[in-house]
Amino acid sequence: MILRDNSLIILPQKKVLIFMQAIEALLRRYSPRALKEPAPDDAALALILESATRAPDHGRLRPWRFVVIKSEARAQFGELLAGHLRRTKASVSDEALERERLKAFRAPLIVAVAAIVTPDGKIPEIEQVLSAGSAAQNMLHAAFALGFNAVWKTGGAAYDDQVKVALGLESKDAIVGFLYVGTDDAGPGSLPRPDWRNFVQDWPPTGAAAAVTSPAGTR
């Protein structure tokens, strides 16, 4: 039996264990402020990426693309970020360019998560992008469940066509985020957790007349 928010949930013992592990990981995850070595090894990374492919996918388009950046490749990614800043700012200092390069070293591993968008099809483009976003969220939770952590970042470079092409994408595609993955020792900090009740509303609103307009031509 599981008691949560005054509701009693009865499950078999084995399912209770799985349930508690999954819910605990969901509720405890946080975005870290700093990440360091070790990064997930190949086996752990494979589990994280496999988790990504369990994202909702309307039409079974499989729109996901995961670009893995690690080790020395991070320096090249840093140059990509600096190049974007140089192209998009009228005046930029050497110090600002160096700060941009160093963003690539926020974590020992980076995964650029993108949607390979199929335009003009039956599935709206926004749903394809949302599927890639769901994949990214799965990766965050999988990394945390495996004892690592990750933070999701974007910035102007995520929306830049030249950056997309450099990462093997096309301008029509959408980078939903750069996931920085590694180990966090600092913990979640003191930022209060949001109360889910502040984001929920019933429909129709309590006390409102239950007047729902019928579709045209119906009675």
Q: What is the pLDDT of residue 4?
A: 45
Instruction: Please tell me which residue, 164 or 12, carries the higher pLDDT value.
Output: 164
| 174 inside domain | yes
Residue 23 in domain: no
| Confidence tier at 205 by pLDDT (50, 70, 90) | confident
The total domain count for the chain is 1
Give the residue-averaged pLDDT of 2-20. Answer: 54
Residues ≥6 apart with Cβ < 8 Å to 168:
65, 67
Q: Decide if 152 is inside a domain.
A: yes
Q: Answer whether residue 120 is part of any domain.
A: yes
pTM of full prediction above 0.95: no
Round the average pLDDT of the chain to a whole number and report it: 90
Confidence class of residue 141 from pLDDT cuts 50, 70 and 90? very high
Q: What is the mean pLDDT of residues 66-87?
A: 98
Beta partners for residue 3, in sequence order = 8
Mean pLDDT across the stretch 64-75?
98
The answer to whether position 26 is within a domain reads no
Domain region containing 47: 34-70+107-185
Q: How far are the Cα atoms of 112, 145, 152 from residue 179, in angstroms, in the given order?
A: 6, 16, 5
Residue 211 has pLDDT above 60, yes or no: no
Q: Are strands 7-9 and 174-182 parallel, antiparallel or unpaired?
A: unpaired
Q: Which CATH number do you get for residue 130?
A: 3.40.109.10
For residue 193, being part of any structural domain is answered with no
Q: What percent of the chain has pLDDT over 70?
A: 85
Half-sphere exposure of 202 (CA within 13 A, CB side): 6
Give yes or no for residue 219 having a pLDDT over 50: no
The pLDDT of residue 118: 97
Q: Band of the pLDDT at 39, cuts 50, 70, 90? A: very high
Average pLDDT rounded to a whole number, residues 84-107: 97
**Comparing 122 with 13, which gets the higher pLDDT?**
122
In a domain, 198, yes or no: no
Span 3-20, average pLDDT: 55
On whether residue 126 sits in a domain, the answer given is yes
Q: How confident is the model at residue 125 (pLDDT cuts 50, 70, 90)?
A: very high
